[in-house]
Amino acid sequence: MTQVVLGVDLGTSSVKVSAVDRQGHIIAQESFDYPLMQSKPGWSEQNPEDWVNGTTVAIVNLILKDGLKPQEIAGISYSGQMHGLVLLDDKHQVLRPAILWNDTRTTSQTQEIAEKMPDTFLSITRNHPLEGFTLPKILWVKENEPEIFKQAKTFLLPKDYLRYRMTGKLAMDYSDAAGTVALDVAHKTWSEKIQTVFDLPASFFPELIESTDFAGYISDSYATFSGLSTATKVFGGAADNAAGAVGAGLLKSNMVMSSIGTSGVVAKFEADTNVDYSGDIHFFNHAIPDKYYSMGVTLAAGDANAWFKSVFGQERNFKDWINEAEQSDVGANGLIFTPYISGERTPYPDADIRASFIGIDRTHQQSDFIRAVLEGIIFSFKDIMTIYDREGANFDTVVAIGGGAKSPLWLQIQANIFDKKVTTLVNEQGPGLGAAMLAATGLGWYHTVEDAANAIIKFGQTYYPDPEAVANYAQIYAIYQKIYSATREVSHDLLTYRRQLHS
């Protein structure tokens, strides 16, 4: 009997389930899309039931359409969109729609956290309180929906809720728990100090487990629902960026990961907690036990490109759309785009900043606008890398995954703007493959996550920086760095006006 593991990649717009064999080959894959609810500017919510239904449809299709036998599925693990708040009552029923990572309604709560814990919050959580994190969302519900919060007995993050529905057991892994900013990252415990300051009982916080820990078997009810076997073992899983780092083979300190999904991430492996980025870059527990990773986030990376294409190139396929940018030149003929369509996180923790095109004149063509969007997203990644440079974090290789790894042009733009070699993966599956590797390690197919990565991950083509383009991009990036401070006040005023229209 051929055994496989399932890697469930629970994203913001869809779930993708990959069946992976012992050799690391993806033998089947199914996905399912679900909607996003954005009822007010800055709000972003989802119905957790959509995650369960979507995952189940994907699994059923793997069994019925792809011929996967339930008894062959030895284990399941997860990669999940981070920070989303799922509130549960005493019967573990969902109390309200999940508030997602890209929801920015919690500015006053982040200020409250900073005011009440000005000296200790960063040292405990290794991160500043930002709108995207989970703790501010908890406080927002507590302050704005008190009747709902009175019923709340615990909370979960998106993939942990999905795991609960599949096993009947509540838990949260360390890599995702770190993104709540209620975890003592170095000591791997929920912070009693944070619980006390914000009057949150210890019972509100779920049990903590490692990403490779056994988390239960498929429950009888979910087996009936999905067709899975109750003998299938389920493992903790990880935050999407931690799972993506595993799936990208990011296991050495000389490498960083450049990931273009809905958001954009630059992540770096960290062996211990000795490094201190002063909260300017996020610092989280890794999916690898007792290891860590740091990362900076661009809130709208692929999402900025998808937005622009949806407005001006809806009928075009992705490849043709990106290739049109080749008709432009380095620097998009003096046109710059800042990808702040949902606010920004690193290095500007600013929920109210908005995007802009700078330098438009009558000579600019559609190809220039497309290229400016591609370059602007990578300039925002460069902002993150300058923080690593400031702290002396040496690295020479960028592993590109996600949408930015699907275009040779975009890969070369990355190499030229970063002035680093950029390498791809032979079979880039990112977080989903990372999740499957966690399940395989949990089952004992591999002794460690590192062993799984060494056996499965294969690097592909490498793109090297072109010296002339590097020099030109350095000049353009110096201009790009001035745009945030120059547009911030006007951008905030416009957003205030829009909110008044919707009030």
Q: Single out the residue of 5, 303, 16 nearest to residue 159, CA to CA.
A: 16
CB 350 within 8 A of CB 298: no
CB 271 within 8 A of CB 289: no
- DSSP code string of 309-336: HHHH-TTS-HHHHHHHGGGS-TTTTT-E
What span, in angstroms and rounded, lies between the C-alpha atoms of 339 and 355?
5
CB 12 within 8 A of CB 102: yes
What span, in angstroms and rounded, lies between the C-alpha atoms of 382 and 375?
10
CB 9 within 8 A of CB 240: yes
Contacts of 500 (CB under 8 A, 6+ apart): none
- DSSP code string of 95-108: -SPEEPTT----HH
What are φ and ψ of residue 486, in 5° steps? Answer: -75, -25
Contacts of 326 (CB under 8 A, 6+ apart): 367, 409
Reply yes or no on whether 240 is catalytic: yes
Catalytic residue among 173, 176, 240, 350: 240
What is the DSSP code (8-state) at residue 11? -
Catalytic residues: 240
